[in-house]
Amino acid sequence: MIFDGHAYCFPSLRGDGGFADRDQLRRHLQQAIATHFQPVWRLRDRAPADATALLDMDDWPSLSSLRDAGFRAAGLGRFEWTADGEDYAKQYLPPSIEDMAYPPERLIAEMDYAGVDKALLHRTPYLGVGNDFVADCVARFPDRLLGLAHVEEWRVAPEPEASIAAVETAVRRQGLSGLQFLPPQLNLYGQRGPWDGPELRPFWDGVAALDIPVFFSLKDRESPPLESYLTELETLDRWMVRYPDVKVVMTHGLGWRMFMDGDGISFPSEAWKPFENPNLYLQLLFPIALGAVWDYPMSQVRPAIEECVRRIGADRLMWGTDMPIVTRFWSYRQNIDFIRRYCDFLSSDELDAILGGTTARLLSVGQAPG
């Protein structure tokens, strides 16, 4: 079974995305696009530029740092804004996303063509909030798609009971398969403390009682980035000790770009500490992070994959893609062949686990829950 452990569907990014109004979605998009590594260019002559007109970079983790620049979802996967009479653009989505939406039918068509059997839909607020849209995607293609629940992270501390109820409804009634939690979203609303603190504990107690996996999307939440990221790993370690019965997934990977070292990746010893806990799984998403740096088939990351297999084990590694966003670099089939054809150090059993078996087992797909 080929099981993409990390894909997306999303409503129109020109709408409200499930927020109370369109401006809330726009603000989340503006902060995310401003801080993303994709290049900026001036529309008039395609000259290289920057995103400083969008955000006060001295306070980049906060929505309060946004600047008025007429930021807009222009179309063809592109976001544009205006500063001093000039228009600028950043290509975050591939140009094929012409209408700035990605319904499940498009993902299924890509899956059919690439030979992907199932996919797990992930979440991030700048692609929409609320669980209805993702639950509808899963309901329309129940044999092909699974989805993660989400609750706005910044609402958890002030509204713990409502937040727990939203997750429970998404899982028990809407058929979603786990929770995705993105700690950097707390910073957008000035909540800079650790996400395992006492004010979030009632929520986590309720989530743990649901007996579902929790997918954490960890990254640096403030400067300096490496120190911040390692602090997040320490928080994850504490969280898992407090909730020893919960299966946990670190989404996207292990800070691949942060640990680039010349023509390879070098990890500090602190990065491996959380994986001493057997409940922690790791997603392998190299092309979305490094596709702009190294060409297919990205032989530079083979040693990193070998190290992940050696230290963690293939039975806790999950292949994913970030479809459709990753196709700004590689095709869907290349995302598979990168592992299937060019990681010849993997045994048949290890390959099967990474390309789908681990994800299927974690989500009890094709087996009785337990």
Q: Could you tell me how far CA 186 lies from the centroid of its own chain?
A: 16
Q: Which amino acid is at 228?
A: S
The interaxial angle of helices 201-209 and 160-172, nearest 10 deg, is: 20
Q: What confidence score (pLDDT) does residue 240 get?
A: 98
Instruction: Decide if pLDDT at 55 tops 50.
Output: yes
For the chain, how many residues are written? Answer: 370
Under the banding of pLDDT at 50, 70 and 90, the label for residue 120 is very high
pTM (predicted TM-score)? 0.97
- Whose CA is closest to 112, among 282, 332, 296, 361? 332
Sign of the alpha-carbon torsion through 338, 184, 11, 251 = positive
Q: What confidence score (pLDDT) does residue 232 get?
A: 98
Contact call for residues 347 and 341 (beta carbons, < 8 A): no
Under the banding of pLDDT at 50, 70 and 90, the label for residue 124 is very high
Mean predicted confidence (pLDDT) in 89-94:
98
Instruction: Decide if pLDDT at 370 tops 50.
Output: no
Residues 271-282: tens digit of each pLDDT: 999 999 999 999
Tokens representing 340 are 């299937």
Which residue is listed with tokens 């337990």?
Answer: 370
Residues 145-162: tens digit of each pLDDT: 999 999 999 999 999 999
Rounded Cα distance, 62 and 184, in Å: 10
Q: What confidence score (pLDDT) does residue 367 get?
A: 56
Sequence-ordered alpha helix ranges (H) in the chain: 22-35, 104-114, 132-140, 153-156, 160-172, 184-188, 201-209, 225-242, 287-290, 302-311, 332-340, 348-352, 358-362
Rounded Cα distance, 312 and 191, in Å: 32
Rounded Cα distance, 248 and 302, in Å: 25
Q: What confidence score (pLDDT) does residue 366 get?
A: 81
Question: Which residues have a Cβ under 8 Å from the Cβ of 283 and sit 6 or more positions away?
Answer: 5, 6, 249, 250, 251, 252, 253, 317, 318, 319, 320
Instruction: Decide if pLDDT at 233 tops 50.
Output: yes
Q: What is the mean pLDDT of the chain?
A: 97
Q: What confidence score (pLDDT) does residue 369 get?
A: 41
For each of the domains in the chain, give its residue range(s) and CATH number, in order of start: 3-10+101-362 (3.20.20.140), 22-91 (no CATH)
Mean predicted confidence (pLDDT) in 45-61:
96
Instruction: Decide if pLDDT at 368 tops 50.
Output: no
Residues 97-106: tens digit of each pLDDT: 999 999 999 9
Instruction: Decide if pLDDT at 192 tops 70.
Output: yes
